[in-house]
Structure 1
Amino acid sequence: MDIMARLADWHITPPLIEHPPLHTCDDADRLLVDRPGTRLKNLFLRDNYGKRHALLLTRHDKQVDLKALSRQLGWSRLGFASAERLERYLGVAPGHVSVLALVNDSQQQVELWLDETLRDGDDFHCHPLRNTATVLLSRTDLLRFTEKTGHAPRWLAVPSLG
Structure 2
Amino acid sequence: MTDITPCTPDDLFQKLDDLGIETTTITHPAVYTVEESKEHCGDIPGAHTKNLFLRNKKGQMWLLVCLEDRKIDMKLLGKALGAGKLSFGSADRLMEFLGITPGSVSPFTALNDKENAVKVVLDSQIMNISPINSHPLTNTMTTSIKPADLVRFLIAINHPPEELDIDNLDQLAHDAT
Same fold (TM over 0.5): yes
| Residue of structure 1 in register with 2:68 after alignment | 60
Q: CA deviation at 1:157?
A: 2.1
Deviation at 1:146, TM superposition (A): 0.7
Structure 1 residue 32 displacement after superposition: 6.2
Instruction: Specify every segment of 5 or more residues in structure 2 that has no aligned partner in the other structure, as ranges.
Output: 1-7, 171-177
| Deviation (angstroms), 1:156 | 1.1
Deviation at 1:11, TM superposition (A): 1.3
Could you tell me which runs of 5 or more consecutive residues in structure 1 were left unpaired when the two chains were aligned. none
Question: 1:154 & 1:64 partners in 2: Cα distance?
Answer: 17
* 2:27 maps to 1:21: no
Q: 1:43 and 2:57 equivalent?
A: no
Moved over 3 A (4+): 30-33
Q: State the distance in 1 between where 2:14 and 2:127 align.
A: 27
Taking only the aligned residue pairs, the percentage that are identical comes to: 35
Question: Who is 1:126 aligned against?
Answer: 134
Write the distance in 2 (CA, Å) between the matches of 1:157 and 1:44. Answer: 18
TM-score (structure 2 length as normaliser): 0.84
Instruction: Note if contact 2:28-2:40 (Cα within 8 Å) is conserved in structure 1.
Output: no
CA distance in 2 between partners of 1:46 and 1:138 (Å): 28
Structure with a larger share of its residues in helix: 2
Q: How many pairs are equivalent?
A: 159
Alpha-carbon offset, residue 48 of structure 1: 2.1
**Partner residue of 2:103?**
95
1:31-79 CA-to-partner distances (Å, cap 9, x unmatched) read 4631011111100000123x20000011100110001111222212111
